[in-house]
Amino acid sequence: MNALVSRRAIVIEAESGARLIGHGGDPGTRELREFLTRNRVSHHFIDLDGSDPTAPTPDGRPLAEDDLPLLIGGDKILRAPTILEAATALNLRAPNKTAKKAWDTLIVGGGPGGLGAAVYAVTEGLSTMMIDSTALGGQASTSSRIENYLGFPAGISGSELAERAIAQARRFGLRTAVPERALSLRHEDGRYVVALDSGDELAARTVVLATGASYRQLPVDGCAELNGAGVFYAATLVEARMCGSGAVAVVGGGNSAGQASIFLSGTAEKVFLLLRGGDLGASMSQYLVDKIEAIENIEVLLHTEVREIHGDAVLAGLTVEDKRAGGRRDLDVGGLFIFIGADPCTEWLDGQLAKDDDGFLLTGGELDVTHLDVDPINGGRPSMPLETSLPGVFAVGDGRAGSIKRVASAVAEGSMSVSLVHQYLASQAALGRS
C-alpha cells in the first residue's frame, strides 16, 4: 500500500498520464481542470493562453477551437467533454448503478466524514457505496496543509490525506462514484432509495449523510462572475499558480484564512489579510496567529471590508474600506481568496429530514418528538446519536447541526456512525426486517 500511495504521488507530481489542452482562461477548461485535479487524476495541462508555442495534434487532425478543451487519456480523445463524459471515460463513475441492489450502507458525500465512515464500514464487512457530486476528499482536499490532524506532525495536504483514505477504503472493497449528486431520499419497501442527478437510483438499508457545507460568497458586485478567474475559495498550488507572483488578498478571520495566508505568503509578493473584526485571535488558532505575525509579507488589515471588485474577465484589483477610520484604499491584487464560512449542502433534503434554522441536519438528542413525523419504522424508539429524523439515516461532519468544523471531528463522527449502523441493522433484524 505504501508503494502504491507513493507511486501515485510521484505520477501526479510528474503530471504524467492524461493530457488536457485548452485555454487557461476559459471557464469550461478551468472547470474540467479543477475536476481532474480534485479527483487526483494525474494529468498535464497544456495552456494555449500560455507560453506553449504550438498545440499538439494527437490524432493528426488540426486542433479546432470547437475541440477545446481536449482531453487525451490513453487511446481516448475527448473533444470538449462534459464533466460527466470525462468522468465516464476515466472510469470514475461506477457502472450498473441500480436500486435493485441494496447496499448495507450508502454514504453521500466523500469528504472526511464520508471517508471516515467508509473506512470503518468496509473494514467491518458492510457492503458500502460512496458517492460525491464533485470530488472524493471534500473541502479538506482543497486545504494546502492540515497541521492539526492526529499523527501528522509535519502536517499533510488535504489532497494527500484524502488520497490515503480512499486507497485504504478501496483496499477493503469500497465502491465509489463521482460525480453523482444526490437529489432526494425516500423510504420504499423497507430500504432507502437515493435518486441521483444522472437519473440513476441507489438503494441501501442505511444511509450516512456527509454532504458538508459550501462556501459563502462576498456580497459584492462582480464577485461571482470572477469565480476561478482570480476569485477563489481554496488556496492550493493550482490557485497560487493562477495568481502569479504579485500581491493577493485573503478575506476571513478563521483558521482557513490563516492557513491560506501563510501558504500564499510563499508564492505571492505580498498577502493582505482582510478582517471585519478587530482581533486576529478572535476565531483563529493561536499557532496560526503567531505564524502570521512573524511573516513579513503578510499585512493584516483589521476592520476592513471589500467594497469593489475590479476586472471583467480576470480580477484586476479591489477597493477596500476601513470601517472604523472610514477611508477607502485600492489594492492591486491578482487573487482574492474568500474564507467567510459556509452553508450546509442539505437543500436536497428539504421536507425529508428535520433541520435547524440554518439548514443543518438535526440528530440524536437535538431532535424532539415534534420532528419525528415519519413512519416509526423502528417502533418509535428515541433517536440514536447522529441519527436524523429518519431511522437508519445518519448525519456526520460539517452538515450536522452542532458539529465542530474540523477534519478530525468529521472523521470521528463518520467512524462512530458505522457502529450505529450496526446497531440499527441489528434492531431491524430483531424486528424481522433484515
Ligand X SMILES: Cc1cc2nc3c(=O)[nH]c(=O)nc-3n(C[C@H](O)[C@H](O)[C@H](O)COP(=O)(O)OP(=O)(O)OC[C@H]3O[C@@H](n4cnc5c(N)ncnc54)[C@H](O)[C@@H]3O)c2cc1C
| Sites for ligand X among residues 305-334 (CB under 6 A) | none
Residues 208-227 that bind ligand X (CB under 6 A): 210-213
DSSP designation for 352: T
Identify which range of 40-48, 75-83, 128-136, 315-323 contacts ligand X by CB under 6 A: 128-136
Nearer to ligand X, 63 or 149 (CB): 149
Q: Which is nearer to ligand X, 37 or 139 (CB)?
A: 139
Asked if residues 82 and 75 have their Cβ atoms less than 8 Å apart, the reply is: no
Choice from 139, 159, 388, 415 touching ligand X (CB under 6 A): 139
Cβ neighbours of residue 225 under 8 Å, at least 6 residues apart?
A: none
Compute the least distance from the CB of residue 297 to ligand X, in Å: 20
CA distance 192 to 194: 7
The distance from CA 99 to its chain's CA centroid, rounded to whole angstroms, is: 26
Piece of 29-37, 204-212, 385-393, 421-429 that binds ligand X (CB under 6 A)? 204-212
Bridge partners of residue 204, in order along the sequence: 103, 192
146 lies in the binding site for ligand X (CB under 6 A): yes
Supply the minimum distance, in Å, between the C-beta of residue 418 and ligand X: 14
Among 106, 119, 345, 418, interactor with ligand X by CB under 6 A: 345
Tell which one of 259, 265, 363, 428 touches ligand X (CB under 6 A).
259
Q: Which is nearer to ligand X, 73 or 212 (CB)?
A: 212
Of the candidate residues 39, 42, 256, 428, the single one contacting ligand X (CB under 6 A): 256
Place of cell 476592520: 303
Query: Should residue 138 be labelled a site residue for ligand X when binding is judged by CB under 6 A?
Result: yes
- Residue 366 cell numbers, joined: 437535538
Q: How far from 101 is each of 201, 203, 210, CA to CA, in Å?
A: 10, 7, 22
CB of 59 to ligand X, least distance (A): 34
**Binding pattern for the stretch 83-122 against ligand X, x by CB under 6 A and - elsewhere:** -------------------------xxxxxxx--------
Q: 382 preceded by cis ω (within 30°)?
A: no
8 A C-beta contact, residue 93 and residue 143: no
Choose which of 234, 250, 280, 298 interacts with ligand X (CB under 6 A): 234
What beta strand segments (E) does 80-222 contain? 102-108, 128-131, 175-177, 182-188, 191-196, 201-209, 213-215
Please tell me the distance from the alpha carbon of residue 147 to that of residue 291, in angstroms, as a whole number: 13
Q: Which stretch binds ligand X (CB under 6 A): 119-127, 139-147, 309-317, 417-425?
A: 139-147
CA distance 118 to 39: 17
Residue type, 363: T
> What is the β-pairing status of strands 102-108 and 201-209?
parallel
Q: Where are the alpha helices (DSSP H) in 102-211?
A: 112-123, 158-171
Q: Tell me the number of residues near ligand X by CB under 6 A.
A: 38
48 or 354: CB nearest ligand X: 354
391 binds ligand X (CB under 6 A): no
397 contacts ligand X (rule: CB under 6 A):
yes
CB of 414 to ligand X, least distance (A): 7
d(CA 39, CA 266): 25
User: Minimal CA–CA distance to 375: which of 363, 392, 359?
Assistant: 392
Binding residue (CB under 6 A) for ligand X from 46, 185, 353, 410: 410
Minimum CB distance to ligand X, residue 325 (Å): 30
Contact pick of 29, 42, 128, 134 for ligand X (by CB under 6 A): 134
Query: Does 386 sit near ligand X (CB under 6 A)?
Result: no
Cell of 370: 415534534
Min dist. Cβ of residue 337 to ligand X (A): 9
In Å, what is the CA distance from 188 to each residue of 205, 261, 338?
10, 49, 42
Map the footprint of ligand X across residues 165-184, applying CB under 6 A. Answer: 181-182
Minimum distance from CB of 140 to ligand X (Å)?
A: 4
Nearest to 143 by CA among 299, 255, 6, 295: 255
- Which triple of cell numbers denotes residue 214? 459550501
By beta-carbon proximity to ligand X, the closer residue of 104 and 132 is: 132
User: Where along the sequence are the contacts to ligand X (CB under 6 A)?
Assistant: 108-114, 131-135, 138-140, 142-143, 146, 148, 181-182, 210-213, 234, 256, 259, 345, 348, 397-399, 405-408, 410
